Amino acid sequence: MITPDEGQALDFCLRLARAHAAVVRRLDAALGGHFGLSFGDFMLLNHLANAPGGRLRRVDLADRQGLTASGVTRSLLPLEKIGVVARRSDERDARVSYALLTPAGHDMLDNALPVAREICKELLRNAKQEELAALSTVLGNLA
């Protein structure tokens, strides 16, 4: 297997950061305009919807979001205030707190998903299927 040299690795990471910023900007604008959600909010709702039982410990949610535990708490507070996310303690261990998606959160996510899918499809319109598969593998290894 051929590994990238230092210049290639740096170039890839710089392009990845620029692409990330472009994706976030586009999704923030679309989701914010339609639903009042940031892309970060959308990701939180999506992680919760895909978690077993529709709930995650805050520390696990923080790990999936790439945030600190306090960062995920700050992100969840406005979502709790509008009723799309709720906080629950573990029945067996009161020290453990879960974030869970409410019925209103499921509805919001169900409405936001087609918009997010359409934006992503548009952003990747020039990519070939095999390129996406290879890049998904690389990104999966990074994460």
The overall average pLDDT reported for the chain is: 91
Q: Decide: helix, strand or coil at residue 89.
A: strand
Binned at pLDDT 50, 70 and 90, residue 92 comes out as: confident
- State whether residue 99 is helix, strand or coil: strand
State the pLDDT at residue 63: 92
Please check the confidence at residue 112 and state whether its pLDDT lies above 80. yes
Domain residue spans in the chain? 7-138
Helical H runs in the chain? 6-35, 39-50, 58-65, 69-81, 103-123, 129-142
Confidence of residue 94 (pLDDT cuts 50, 70, 90): confident
Instruction: State the average pLDDT over residues 62-78.
Output: 91
Q: What is the mean pLDDT of residues 62-83?
A: 92
Spell 15-45 as b/e; 16+ CB within 10 A means b: eeeeeeeeeeebbbebbeeebebbbbbbbbb
Query: Which CATH number does 7-138 carry?
Result: 1.10.10.10
Q: What is the mean pLDDT of residues 115-143?
A: 92
Does the pLDDT of residue 95 top 80, yes or no? no
Residue 27: per-residue pLDDT = 97
Q: Which residue has the higher pLDDT, 88 or 3?
A: 88
Could you tell me the pTM of the whole model? 0.87
Model pLDDT for residues 10-69, shown as the tens digit of each residue: 999 999 999 999 999 999 999 999 999 999 999 999 999 999 988 999 889 999 998 998
For the cut 70, the answer to whether the pLDDT of residue 2 exceeds it is no
